[in-house]
Amino acid sequence: MIQLEHIDYDYQGIPALRDITYTFEMGRCYCLEGPNGCGKSTLFRILNGLAFPARGRYVLDSDAITEKRLRDDTFAKAFHAKIGYVFQNAEVQLFCKSVEDEIAFGLFQLGLPEGEIEERVEKYIRQLNLASLRKRTPYNLSGGEKKRVALAAVLAMDPPILMFDEPLSGLDEDGQCWITDFIRALKSTGKLIIISTHNRRLAGQLADVHVRMNKDHRIICP
């Protein structure tokens, strides 16, 4: 469970989040909706420990998540194992020399035994239809293919929480339908899913709970 209490965030004086108080519960699919620039990606960065709020508290499963605590390797490892984050632009999260190495990378970080890593790599190559691309360099793949690789790498780690930042961005119509169906299927797995989108149709198709933000960087109370 994720609890946010009165979070503010600014980029050198530019406001990005204001007084964000919200609780995300396991097993539900939340769509974080709002116009460009309202702060959705910033909130995702905070939830993933990539940015830290100037004010307020972020509590994950009763642990306060702070910059100081994430400097502890054991704590950081346990934290990162809990949350899978698929970036808006998949490119920024792909850096290995082949698709299969990309999927294996996070599993090595988790310290899993080699046999388990091989099994999971095969499973997610199959699930995301990546067999013909497995030896390719992720860097040279199409936008849709990169998205599938990023998803495979994140899902292989089997995190209880999954976040998708603007999952339709950069995809053609077929790719958009595919990812919408894929996320819909993930909803039956009991994970907490948070999707950021400015696309009302996508939110309508997937959300159990709509979380609306406004241009003043606040969550609008329903």
- Please report, as ranges, the residues that interact with ligand ADP according to CB under 6 A: 11, 14, 16, 34, 36-42
Q: How far apart are CA 80 and CA 90, in angstroms?
A: 18
- Regarding 199 and contact with Mg ion (CB under 5 A), the answer is no
Task: Return the SS3 of 12.
Answer: coil
Question: Could you say which of Mg ion, ligand ADP, none residue 140 binds, taking C-beta under 5 to 8 angstroms by partner kind?
Answer: none
Give which of 33, 4, 47 is closest to 162, Cα–Cα. Answer: 47
- Regarding 42 and contact with Mg ion (CB under 5 A), the answer is no
Q: In angstroms, give the least distance from the CB of 89 to ligand ADP.
A: 12
Q: In angstroms, give the least distance from the CB of 37 to Mg ion.
A: 8
Q: In angstroms, give the least distance from the CB of 217 to ligand ADP.
A: 7
Tell me which residue has its CB nearest to Mg ion. 41
For the chain, the straight-line distance linking the first and the last C-alpha, in angstroms and rounded, comes to 20
CB nearer to Mg ion: pick between 41 and 48: 41
Instruction: Name the DSSP class of 95.
Output: -
Write out the binding residues for Mg ion, residues 73-92 only, by CB under 5 A: none
Question: Could you say which of Mg ion, ligand ADP, none residue 14 binds, taking C-beta under 5 to 8 angstroms by partner kind?
Answer: ligand ADP
Q: Which residues contact 126 (CB under 8 A, 6 or more apart)?
A: none
Q: In angstroms, give the least distance from the CB of 36 to Mg ion.
A: 7
Pairing relation of β-strands 192-197 and 29-33? Answer: parallel
* Encoded tokens for 65: 């998540």
- Looking at this protein, which amino acid is placed at residue 116? E
Phi, psi for residue 25 in degrees, rounded to 5 = -105, 150
Q: In angstroms, give the least distance from the CB of 189 to ligand ADP.
A: 26
Question: Could you say which of ligand ADP, Mg ion, none residue 39 binds, taking C-beta under 5 to 8 angstroms by partner kind?
Answer: ligand ADP
CA 37, chain centre distance (Å): 18
CB nearer to Mg ion: pick between 191 and 198: 198
- Regarding 41 and contact with Mg ion (CB under 5 A), the answer is yes
Q: How far apart are CA 214 and CA 78, in angstroms?
A: 33
Q: In angstroms, give the least distance from the CB of 39 to ligand ADP.
A: 4
CB nearer to ligand ADP: pick between 16 and 163: 16
State the Cα angle at 150 between 175 and 145, rounded to 5°: 40
Task: Return the SS3 of 217.
Answer: coil
Select the span of 3-11, 37-45, 71-79, 99-107 touching Mg ion (CB under 5 A): 37-45
| Contacting positions for Mg ion (CB under 5 A) | 40-41
